[in-house]
Amino acid sequence: MSIITEVGLQNFSFDVDIVSYRASQKPVDHTISINGQSGSNGSAGHSGFSGSNGDDGSNGSDGGNGCPGTDSQNALIWC
Protein backbone atom coordinates (compact mmCIF):
# COMPACT_ATOMS: atom_id res chain seq x y z
CA MET A 1 0.00 0.00 0.00
CA SER A 2 1.39 3.38 -0.98
CA ILE A 3 0.84 6.57 0.95
CA ILE A 4 1.08 9.89 -0.83
CA THR A 5 1.88 12.85 1.38
CA GLU A 6 1.63 16.42 0.16
CA VAL A 7 4.08 18.83 1.75
CA GLY A 8 3.67 22.57 1.33
CA LEU A 9 6.88 24.53 0.76
CA GLN A 10 6.67 27.78 2.66
CA ASN A 11 9.08 30.67 2.16
CA PHE A 12 10.18 29.24 -1.19
CA SER A 13 13.04 31.44 -2.41
CA PHE A 14 14.94 31.67 -5.69
CA ASP A 15 17.50 33.93 -7.36
CA VAL A 16 15.62 36.37 -9.58
CA ASP A 17 18.72 36.96 -11.70
CA ILE A 18 18.77 33.38 -13.03
CA VAL A 19 15.01 32.86 -13.47
CA SER A 20 13.35 33.84 -16.73
CA TYR A 21 10.28 36.11 -16.86
CA ARG A 22 8.10 33.19 -17.99
CA ALA A 23 9.25 30.97 -15.11
CA SER A 24 8.65 33.74 -12.60
CA GLN A 25 5.01 33.96 -13.69
CA LYS A 26 4.30 30.29 -12.87
CA PRO A 27 2.84 29.33 -9.50
CA VAL A 28 5.40 28.34 -6.93
CA ASP A 29 3.30 25.54 -5.37
CA HIS A 30 5.03 22.18 -5.54
CA THR A 31 3.90 18.72 -4.54
CA ILE A 32 6.39 16.23 -3.19
CA SER A 33 5.17 12.64 -3.33
CA ILE A 34 6.63 10.16 -0.88
CA ASN A 35 5.83 6.60 -1.91
CA GLY A 36 6.85 3.67 0.21
CA GLN A 37 5.70 0.44 1.70
CA SER A 38 3.90 0.08 4.98
CA GLY A 39 5.96 -0.71 8.04
CA SER A 40 5.66 -3.93 10.00
CA ASN A 41 3.13 -4.39 12.78
CA GLY A 42 4.13 -3.52 16.33
CA SER A 43 4.64 -5.98 19.17
CA ALA A 44 1.81 -7.22 21.37
CA GLY A 45 1.08 -5.21 24.51
CA HIS A 46 1.61 -6.39 28.08
CA SER A 47 -1.04 -8.32 29.99
CA GLY A 48 -3.45 -6.28 32.08
CA PHE A 49 -3.64 -6.28 35.89
CA SER A 50 -5.98 -8.51 37.87
CA GLY A 51 -9.37 -7.08 38.72
CA SER A 52 -10.44 -6.18 42.24
CA ASN A 53 -12.62 -8.39 44.43
CA GLY A 54 -16.38 -8.10 44.17
CA ASP A 55 -18.62 -6.59 46.86
CA ASP A 56 -20.08 -8.67 49.69
CA GLY A 57 -23.37 -10.40 48.99
CA SER A 58 -26.61 -9.23 50.60
CA ASN A 59 -28.12 -10.83 53.72
CA GLY A 60 -30.28 -13.91 53.33
CA SER A 61 -34.03 -13.81 53.89
CA ASP A 62 -35.75 -14.80 57.16
CA GLY A 63 -36.18 -18.47 57.95
CA GLY A 64 -39.56 -20.16 57.76
CA ASN A 65 -41.85 -20.97 60.71
CA GLY A 66 -40.67 -23.55 63.23
CA CYS A 67 -42.28 -26.97 63.72
CA PRO A 68 -45.26 -27.16 66.07
CA GLY A 69 -44.45 -28.14 69.68
CA THR A 70 -45.34 -31.57 71.11
CA ASP A 71 -48.11 -32.12 73.66
CA SER A 72 -46.64 -31.81 77.16
CA GLN A 73 -49.52 -33.43 79.01
CA ASN A 74 -47.49 -36.53 79.85
CA ALA A 75 -44.08 -34.91 79.88
CA LEU A 76 -41.50 -36.01 82.44
CA ILE A 77 -39.71 -33.15 84.17
CA TRP A 78 -36.39 -33.76 85.95
CA CYS A 79 -35.59 -31.50 88.90
Q: What string of pLDDT tens digits covers the 79 residues of the chain?
A: 566 777 666 666 666 666 666 655 556 566 666 667 777 888 888 888 888 888 888 988 988 888 887 666 666 666 6
CA distances from 8 to 26, 29, 42, 62, 76 (A): 16, 7, 30, 78, 110
What is the pLDDT, as a whole number, of residue 37? 72
What is the pLDDT, as a whole number, of residue 73? 65
What is the pLDDT, as a whole number, of residue 67? 82
**Global confidence as pTM:** 0.22
